[in-house]
Amino acid sequence: MTKRNKEKPAKPKGRMKRRDYEAALRPLQAELCHLQSWIKASGERVVIIFEGRDAAGKGGTIKALTERVSPRVFRTVALPAPSDREKSQLYMQRYLLHFPAGGEITIFDRSWYNRAGVEIVMGFCTPELRERFLTQAPEFEKTLCNNGIHLIKYWLEVGDEEQKARFQKRIHDPRRQWKLSPMDLESRRRWYDYSRARDVMLDATDTTWAPWNVVNSNDKRRARLNVITHLLAQFPYEPPKQPVVNLPKRNLKAQYDDDKTMHGRRWIPTPY
């Protein structure tokens, strides 16, 4: 297991303004495009795991990571609850189906670590199954790494009061209400159970070959920037040489009145 970082966490900073966030995000997303080119050219395989409490900011972080890159390279996987058939399989089996081929990055929005989190807290698995998982997970991940897969694990840590505030926003904002589920509300009640499960999980599965990278996510914008910066630092990529591209001229011999043919079509109303 890895040695714990004994340095004190940095003091929290004030909330980042949207303008500053967007200015910092833009060049980082350009770098992600450079990383994408390197991943495709090198044939590397990458698995990125995002874990954390409900409302920790996993979805927003993944969106910031992927909104300017190709979904054919950066593939996001968010699996639903297992079916009856999947429950009878080996526990890791349904996750393996989504692993990357050469030149791909798979991002898991929650992963096999459900067993050490929501499943044990909500009573969906027995303590014996959780203990078996915590024993097997490090060896499973060592096998992945030994077979050339880059495995990067992020734990987004949100504080008690911040989670409460985010849940309140979901309750009162119609645009966010779809995010609020009965499981979310129950997780709020079981805050300390999740804390204990988190600590047991991190202690058992923080290894030298697949360490946990803990992210302060109380400020979502800073968390997203910090994750992307950390991810980029994990690979020896270089910006690709940009080819000279000239826009071709239209073939005037094939001229056609394409505006006239659209008259009388069923255009949608334009209230804006």
Please, which pLDDT band fits residue 12 given cuts at 50, 70 and 90? low
* Domain assignment present for 76: yes
Contact 56, 158 (CB under 8 A): yes
Contact 1, 208 (CB under 8 A): yes
Picking from 222, 105, 242, 235, the residue whose alpha carbon sits closest to that of residue 162 is 222
Eight-class DSSP state of 115: G
**pLDDT (0 to 100) of residue 241:** 87
Provide the percentage of residues in the chain whose pLDDT is more than 90.
84
For the cut 60, the answer to whether the pLDDT of residue 7 exceeds it is: no
* Domain assignment present for 84: yes
What are the pLDDT digits (tens) for 167-203? 999 999 888 888 888 888 899 999 999 999 999 999 9
Secondary structure (3-state) at 37: helix
Split into its structural domains, the chain has a count of 1
CB proximity list for 86: less than 8 A, separation 6 or greater: 93, 94
What are the pLDDT digits (tens) for 131-150? 999 999 999 999 999 999 99
CATH code of the domain covering residue 50:
3.40.50.300
* Domain assignment present for 192: yes
* Domain assignment present for 180: yes
**pLDDT (0 to 100) of residue 178:** 85
From residue 243, give the alpha-carbon distance in Å to each of 106, 206, 240, 246.
28, 43, 9, 10
* Domain assignment present for 15: no
**pLDDT (0 to 100) of residue 24:** 98
Eight-class DSSP state of 240: P
For the cut 80, the answer to whether the pLDDT of residue 124 exceeds it is: yes
* Domain assignment present for 18: no
Helices then strands, counting H and E runs in the chain, come out as 10, 5
Range of the domain at 149: 25-238
Secondary structure (3-state) at 80: coil
- 20-34, 79-93, 205-219, 241-255, range with the lowest pLDDT: 241-255
For the cut 80, the answer to whether the pLDDT of residue 56 exceeds it is: yes
Measured torsion, CA atoms of residues 48, 154, 156, 178, in degrees rounded to the nearest 10: 10
Mean pLDDT of 30-40: 97
* Domain assignment present for 141: yes
**pLDDT (0 to 100) of residue 242:** 83
Tokens 């995010």, located at residue? 179
Q: What is the pTM of this model?
A: 0.90
* Phi, psi at 153, each rounded to 5°: -120, 130
Please tell me the distance from the alpha carbon of residue 125 to that of residue 51, in angstroms, as a whole number. 18
**pLDDT (0 to 100) of residue 14:** 84
**pLDDT (0 to 100) of residue 11:** 59
Please tell me the distance from the alpha carbon of residue 113 to that of residue 205, in angstroms, as a whole number. 10
DSSP H helical ranges for the chain: 18-42, 58-66, 84-87, 93-96, 118-121, 127-146, 160-172, 182-189, 191-205, 220-232
**pLDDT (0 to 100) of residue 192:** 97
For the cut 60, the answer to whether the pLDDT of residue 2 exceeds it is: no
**pLDDT (0 to 100) of residue 149:** 98
* Domain assignment present for 177: yes
